[in-house]
Amino acid sequence: MANPIPNLWRVPELKDKILFTLLMLLIYRFGAHITVPGLDVGALREQFGQLQDTLLGIYDMFVGGGLSRATIFALGIMPYISASIMFQLLAAVFPTIEKLQKEGEEGRKKITQWTRYTTVLLSAIQAYGYSVFLASLPGAVRDPGFVFVFTTVFALTVGAMFIMWLGEQITERGIGNGMSLLIFFGIIEGFPAATMRTLETARLGEISPVALGVLVAVMVGITAGVVAMTMGARKIPVQIPRKVVGRGRIQEGQKSFIPLRVNSAGVMPIIFAQAFVVVPGTLAAFSTLPFLRTVADLFQPNGANPWVYYITYGLLIVFFTYFYTAIIFNPVDLAENLKKQGGFIPGVKPGARTAEYIDRVLTRVTLPGSVYLALIALVPFFIVRWAGIQTFFFGGTGLLIVVGVALDTVQQAQQHLMLRHYDGFMKKGRVKMRGRGRYM
């Protein structure tokens, strides 16, 4: 199926899923513009503009600017994502959670329930902290006090729960991947405004036509590189020998492979590295200590010596790529499952040797993946300094999320079309039975 886009609206089931997904996203974006009561939005934006290079600025990108506008959806889907990552990391520490992950559907349901309860708790804590922060901004809150804090905490917590429900509905009844789609649309919401700002800067002569052309070419090249590296994988061949099943029936052997993705960790290493590298700036924004201000100036991409920021940021990305890959990918479990199925890697003994081989290959594959992540995250900073522009929309984190979610959504749409094509073939086809001269 070379071009499945024209066929998307011809399949009734897929058409209904797409329309339902668009409706849920429309509700999400509508709620992202309803401000909590008791705020002066103009004063809030003026104060919030000073925090773009802090944790709040990064969080604001994921929620589509809802944090800087203090909307009822200001927390976005991030509390649920944080709770999910928390249980994913805790599984490597607590055997009980790891056992639930391996119990199939029942274990998954229990972990999902725990994740929802944790989301409520995290949402309430974040909402309280954010309401106190709003009350501390001069002129942002008309009547700061207990009523404002209680109202804001209640509105933001309920909003976070509603967004979690929207994401689950998109996953179950829509095109799928609901949580990621919410972040996806929150990020790309700023694309038109960023494009207009760049064009206005070029019109005023602050960017030369040559620099603008190079900027567009680099954007296209980075996007193509992200697509290639996101889909790249190292395939380890696996052989499953033939065996006797039932009453003397022989099941033929099969050849398959284990795909080890070049970028197994996805965008998480960049998020973790950003969270660490902006800590000095975040502390300096809420403190008057000269020492913190000096350290914060060292970790600024547009500071006097930005290479401290670049080197630290790049090394953190490489470290967290290996760290997160080790958390989500267990070669020992993979080798044990392969051994239980009777499969083996040609030339490698089953069991411990297979786990060692997979771990060695994964370590080598992760190295170019981690370097690629670091380059994707740092290239936008180099472009900003070279072109002399203030902001650049295609940041490393946002670009990886947008490309990754877009690729996954396209693949799911293609799977729906292929399933529809396969069902039509089974309904129309007729299989002739041997020896009876009739058709099924």
3-state secondary structure of 196: helix
Residues 269 and 134 in one domain: no
How far apart (Å, rounded) are the C-alpha atoms in residues 128 and 150? 8
Residues 30 and 164 in one domain: yes
How far apart (Å, rounded) are the C-alpha atoms in residues 290 and 281? 12
Q: Is residue 48 part of a domain?
A: yes
Residues 179 and 252 in one domain: no
DSSP codes, 114-153? HHHHHHHHHHHHHHHHHHHHHHHSTTTBSS-SHHHHHHHH
Give the pLDDT mean for 13-32. 86
Asked whether the predicted pLDDT for residue 217 surpasses 90, the reply is no
Give the pLDDT mean for 242-268. 71
Structural domain count of the chain: 2
Q: Is residue 421 part of a domain?
A: no
User: According to the per-residue pLDDT averaged within each range, which of 151-160, 182-191, 199-208, 266-275 is highest?
Assistant: 151-160
pLDDT in tens, 41-77: 777 777 666 666 666 767 777 777 777 788 888 888 8
Q: Is residue 265 part of a domain?
A: yes
CATH assignment of the domain containing 354: 1.10.3370.10
Residue whose token pair is 């003397």: 248
Residues 163 and 268 in one domain: no
> Per the structure block, which two tokens stand in for 21?
């997904």
Q: Is residue 21 part of a domain?
A: yes
Q: Is residue 438 part of a domain?
A: no
Instruction: Determine the pLDDT at residue 53.
Output: 61
> Per the structure block, which two tokens stand in for 310?
């670049």
Does residue 87 contact residue 111 with C-beta atoms inside 8 Å? Answer: yes
Residues 243 and 134 in one domain: no
Residue 257: what are its φ and ψ, rounded to 5°?
-155, 160
Asked whether the predicted pLDDT for residue 108 surpasses 70, the reply is yes
Identity of the amino acid at 432: K
pLDDT in tens, 277-335: 777 776 766 667 777 777 777 777 666 677 888 888 889 889 988 988 888 888 888 88
Identity of the amino acid at 106: E
Residue 238: what are its φ and ψ, rounded to 5°?
-130, 135
How far apart (Å, rounded) are the C-alpha atoms in residues 77 and 119? 9
3-state secondary structure of 390: coil
Asked whether the predicted pLDDT for residue 350 surpasses 80, the reply is yes
pLDDT band at 248 (very low <50, low <70, confident <90, very high): low
Report the run of H or E that residue 234 belongs to, with start and end. Answer: strand 233-240
Instruction: Determine the pLDDT at residue 104.
Output: 73
Does residue 189 contact residue 33 with C-beta atoms inside 8 Å? Answer: no
Residues 237 and 362 in one domain: yes
Q: Is residue 431 part of a domain?
A: no
Q: Is residue 384 part of a domain?
A: yes
Residues 120 and 266 in one domain: no
3-state secondary structure of 240: strand
Identity of the amino acid at 125: I
Residues 256 and 363 in one domain: yes
Residues 88 and 16 in one domain: yes
Domain final residue pick, 350, 368, 392? 392
Residues 159 and 307 in one domain: no
DSSP codes, 331-376? HHHHHHHHHHTT-B-TTS-TTHHHHHHHHHHHHHHHHHHHHHHHHH
pLDDT band at 117 (very low <50, low <70, confident <90, very high): very high
3-state secondary structure of 243: strand
In angstroms, how far is CA 40 from the centroid of its own chain? 32
Give the pLDDT mean for 122-126. 90
- Render the burial of 192-204: b for 16+ CB within 10 Å, e for the rest: eeeeeebeebbee
Q: What is the dihedral of CA 133, 137, 141, 146, to 10 degrees?
A: 40
Asked whether the predicted pLDDT for residue 387 surpasses 60, the reply is yes
Residues 128 and 46 in one domain: yes
3-state percent breakdown (helix, strand, coil) of the chain, nearest 5: 70, 5, 25
The total of other beta-carbon atoms located within 10 Å of residue 424's CB is: 10
Residues 265 and 360 in one domain: yes
The total of other beta-carbon atoms located within 10 Å of residue 57's CB is: 20
Q: Is residue 226 part of a domain?
A: no
Does residue 415 contact residue 336 with C-beta atoms inside 8 Å? Answer: no
How far apart (Å, rounded) are the C-alpha atoms in residues 257 and 236? 5
Contacts of 207 (CB under 8 A, 6+ apart): 198, 201, 215, 387, 388, 389
Instruction: Determine the pLDDT at residue 198.
Output: 75
Range of the domain at 365: 233-392
Asked whether the predicted pLDDT for residue 158 surpasses 90, the reply is yes
Domain final residue pick, 168, 184, 200? 184
The total of other beta-carbon atoms located within 10 Å of residue 247's CB is: 5
Q: Give the residue among 428, 429, 431, 425 at the shortest CA–CA distance from 439.
A: 431
Instruction: Determine the pLDDT at residue 418.
Output: 73
Predicted model pTM: 0.75
How far apart (Å, rounded) are the C-alpha atoms in residues 409 and 177? 7
Domain final residue pick, 184, 205, 221? 184
3-state secondary structure of 256: strand
